[in-house]
Structure 1
Amino acid sequence: MVMVLLLLGIFYQDIRSRAVYWVFFPLLALAFVLQRLLVGQTPQMVAFESAFPAAFLLIQLLVLSIYFSLKQKRFVNITESLLGPGDILFLFCLCLYFPAINFIAFYIVSLFAIIAGWLTISHIRQQKGTIPLAGLQAAFVLLLIGFGINPANENWFYTFIKPYYAV
């Protein structure tokens, strides 16, 4: 319940003001870790399973930084103009909750859905603006939970893709 309230708070704040109070992120990280501990995982399991998504995310951020730095022929800090610090903190919080395969699936699907939706809305409204990424991804997590999907459980993803790779 606390996790849902924190996700709702992040969604509301990011949509409303394109900024999220920093206190949401350590509280959300703690809620995610406690949720995994309550289902029987050890702290070592949580740390081990969180390492791969965090490494994947770090590589993504490094590649983005290098790409835009090379493109603009100067060092580009991606948190100044491309991603907000809250977006990055939120993604690292998700690393503590999602197993690796779920994190990568969530990351890719949510980014494509959010970008496609935002481009469509921007085109209809004839307005450009920043994308409230953390807020919309928080809403995406809330939708998963609302549909009875536990993102911390690897089995839901395998059950979803099983019909597509069955022999």
Structure 2
Amino acid sequence: MLWFKFLVAGLLLSIAYEDFKNRMVRLVFYLLLVASLIILRFDNISLIGLLIDFGMNLAYLSLLLFMSLTVLYLRYKKITNPLLYIGVGDILLLLIFCIWFDTINFVVFNTVSLIVALIAHSLLKQFEFYNKHKTIPLAGIQSLCFLSLLIIRNIDAQPF
């Protein structure tokens, strides 16, 4: 299992690097991350528990997407494509995180990582290397938040 933990750490760093550098991430990183997290998650939870957590987290993400679409509709007075405002990679990473967390922890992680992303973007936009793209590297920032969480939990002698 230790090998999978290092693989997850490497994948999260790769996602962060590519998202900061190019604002896009290779699909293979997401696929390997899904496989690794499922293997690690089965070490702590049954298939039924995993499916229940995933379903609840997916319902929460659907609610967020619906609320976002409603806000966009009220703002622009027309139906707007949400992919103009959030990247497919960002959505994929959130779906991957649905596998790892139970519902309460997912809501807390998502909220905290979005606040961290807002603060990081506000601080980093002052630097020229960051400003060559107009978008926020949300998947990169959230992957670093997730990696930080995994490291802290591992140092605290808890299993990933």
TM-score, length-normalised on structure 2?
A: 0.84
Determine the C-alpha separation between the residues in 1 that align with 2:91 and 2:97. Answer: 10
Letter in 1 for 2:147: L
Which of 47, 54, 60 is residue 58 of structure 2 equivalent to? 54
Q: Considering only aligned residues, what root-mean-square deviation do their CA atoms show, in Å?
A: 2.1
Determine the C-alpha separation between the residues in 2 that align with 1:108 and 1:75. Answer: 26
Once the two structures are TM-superposed, the CA of residue 68 in structure 1 deviates from its matched residue by 0.4
Question: What secondary structure, in the 3-state scheme, does the structure 1 residue paired with 2:104 have?
Answer: helix
1:87 aligned partner: 90
Determine the C-alpha separation between the residues in 2 that align with 1:106 and 1:149. Answer: 17
1:117 aligned partner: 120
Question: What secondary structure, in the 3-state scheme, does the structure 2 residue paired with 1:148 have?
Answer: helix
1:133 aligned partner: 138
Mapped pair 1:7 → 2:12:
yes
Question: What secondary structure, in the 3-state scheme, does the structure 1 residue paired with 2:79 have?
Answer: coil
Correspondence 1:1-167 to 2 at 5 A: 1-39=6-44, 41-79=45-83, 81-122=84-125, 124-125=126-127, 127=131, 129-149=134-154
Q: Per-residue CA shift, 1:27-65, capped at 9, x if unaligned?
A: 2122111111123x2211111111111110111011101
Once the two structures are TM-superposed, the CA of residue 120 in structure 1 deviates from its matched residue by 2.6
Letter in 1 for 2:74: L
Please list every run of 5 or more consecutive structure 2 residues that lacks an aligned counterpart in the other structure: 1-5
TM-score, length-normalised on structure 1?
A: 0.81
Once the two structures are TM-superposed, the CA of residue 69 in structure 1 deviates from its matched residue by 2.0
- Percent identical across equivalent pairs? 29
Residue-pair matches, total? 149
Letter in 2 for 1:112: I
Letter in 2 for 1:10: I
Q: Per-residue CA shift, 1:101-134, capped at 9, x if unaligned?
A: 1111111111111102211332x34858211000
Once the two structures are TM-superposed, the CA of residue 149 in structure 1 deviates from its matched residue by 5.0
Large movers: runs of 4+ above 6 Å? none
1:165 aligned partner: none
Determine the C-alpha separation between the residues in 1 that align with 2:124 and 2:13. Answer: 22
Q: Per-residue CA shift, 1:64-93, capped at 9, x if unaligned?
A: 0121023112211111x2100000000010
Change (3 A) 1:145 1:85: same
Letter in 1 for 2:90: D
